[in-house]
Amino acid sequence: MTAMTAEWEPRLTQFMKGFGVGSYYEDGAVMLHDPLAVATLVDPSLVKIVRERIRVEMEKGKIRTIADPQGPIAIDLVTEADIARLSRLVSRAVMD
C-alpha cells in the first residue's frame, strides 16, 4: 500500500492541479473514492447520503458540477463517511 500510495500521490496532485485544485492534496493523503464506492455496496451504513439537485456547466474548458435546487439532475451525494471503518476494511482486504 505504501508503494502504491507513493506512486499515486504525485500523479493525483498533478492531475488535480489541472483542475485548479492544488492545495487540496498538499498533505499527501490519498483519497479512497473507489474503495468507498465499492464498500458502500457491501455496507451502506459507512456513509450518509442526501439527494441533491445539480446542474453541469462548462467553464474555461472545465466541467463544473454545481449544486442547484432547480437543477435538472438529481444525484445521491455522500456528505459523511466513516473513514476509520473504511480504512480498516480496505486494510483487511489488502492484507488477506
Q: Where along the chain do its domains lie?
A: 1-27, 32-95
Backbone angles phi, psi at 38, to 5 degrees: -70, -45
CB 43 within 8 A of CB 86: no
Q: What is the pLDDT of residue 28?
A: 58
Q: What is the pLDDT of residue 25?
A: 53
Pick from 43, 28, 26: nearest CA to 88:
43
H-helix or E-strand containing 74?
strand 73-81
Q: What is the pLDDT of residue 23?
A: 60
Mean pLDDT by 10 residues, the chain (96 residues): 74 77 61 85 94 91 89 94 89 82
Q: What is the pLDDT of residue 45?
A: 96
Pick from 17, 40, 39, 12: nearest CA to 28:
12
Q: What is the pLDDT of residue 9?
A: 74
Q: What is the pLDDT of residue 26?
A: 57
Three-state secondary structure call for residue 44 = helix
Predicted TM-score (pTM) of this structure: 0.62
